[in-house]
């Protein structure tokens, strides 16, 4: 279920493009024209070094999901100037992205390279593919992915570094401490209202990480 924003909570809400541009201004020509509709040589070089990306999707009702994907650098294949293929490794079987794509093929991707301040943003239309020939090219340790998300590229552009600079995300000495944060086991128990102990759930998590990476 999608929860609508509380319209009465805030005094000043932007409700039009004109009002938005009155605050932010308009993108200059250089920024406005940086969007391309192909995976060019610059995009290919970036994707070849990328070990991690985020995939955004939504269902027919507009409920949005963002799923992280990670593998050795270059795990996303560039099949041609308009097509990418992303392997699906064993996960929690929720398959949120795939369920969404079956209802709405539009997806958005953000590619990140550790230490690189700029990111690559790509959007397009996705389909779920099981072709053996494709999956064989994505095998790791002799194990094929069950599926591949194949994306037909509609837009691609590089995002500037300001968010990375502000966050210090690649600066270890600026990282916040992790002490006091709940473990995955603790959050699963709390959110799913389980009667299992933390040790039991942590045991399942540990086994899953040892046996289902590929």
Helix (H, G, I), strand (E, B) or coil at 176: coil
pLDDT (0 to 100) of residue 112 = 98
Predicted TM-score (pTM) of this structure: 0.92
The CA-based angle 46-96-214, given to 5 degrees, is 60
Task: Sketch out the chain's domains with CATH numbers.
Answer: 33-167 (2.30.110.10), 177-211 (no CATH)
CA distance 48 to 102: 28
| Residue 50 contacts residue 73 (beta carbons within 8 Å) | yes
> Tell me, what's the pLDDT at 4?
74
**Other Cβ atoms closer than 10 A to 90:** 13
Per-residue pLDDT of the chain (214 residues; tens, 9 = 90+): 677 777 788 999 999 999 999 999 998 888 878 999 999 999 999 999 999 999 999 999 999 999 999 999 999 999 999 999 999 999 888 999 999 999 999 999 999 999 999 999 999 999 999 999 999 999 999 999 999 999 999 999 999 999 999 999 999 999 999 999 999 999 999 999 999 999 999 999 999 999 988 8
Residue 181's SS3 state is coil
């Amino acid at each position: 279920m999608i929860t609508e924003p509380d319209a009465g909570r805030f005094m000043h809400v932007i409700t039009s493009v004109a009002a938005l541009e009155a605050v932010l201004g308009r993108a200059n020509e250089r920024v406005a024209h940086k969007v391309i509709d192909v995976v060019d040589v610059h995009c290919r070089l970036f994707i070849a070094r990328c070990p991690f990306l985020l995939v955004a999707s939504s269902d027919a009702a507009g409920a949005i999901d963002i799923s992280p994907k990670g593998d050795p650098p270059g795990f996303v294949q560039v099949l041609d100037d308009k097509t990418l293929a992303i392997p699906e490794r064993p996960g929690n079987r929720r398959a949120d992205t795939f369920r969404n794509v079956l209802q709405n093929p539009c997806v958005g991707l953000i590619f990140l390279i550790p230490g690189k301040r700029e990111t690559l943003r790509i959007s397009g239309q996705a389909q779920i593919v099981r072709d053996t020939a494709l999956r064989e090219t994505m095998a790791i340790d002799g194990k094929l992915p069950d599926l591949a998300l194949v994306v037909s590229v509609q837009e691609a552009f590089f995002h500037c570094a300001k968010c990375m600079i502000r966050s210090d995300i690649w600066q270890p000495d600026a990282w916040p401490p992790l002490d006091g944060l709940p473990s995955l086991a603790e959050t699963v128990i709390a959110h799913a209202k389980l009667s299992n102990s933390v040790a039991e759930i942590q045991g399942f998590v540990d086994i899953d990480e040892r046996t289902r990476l590929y």
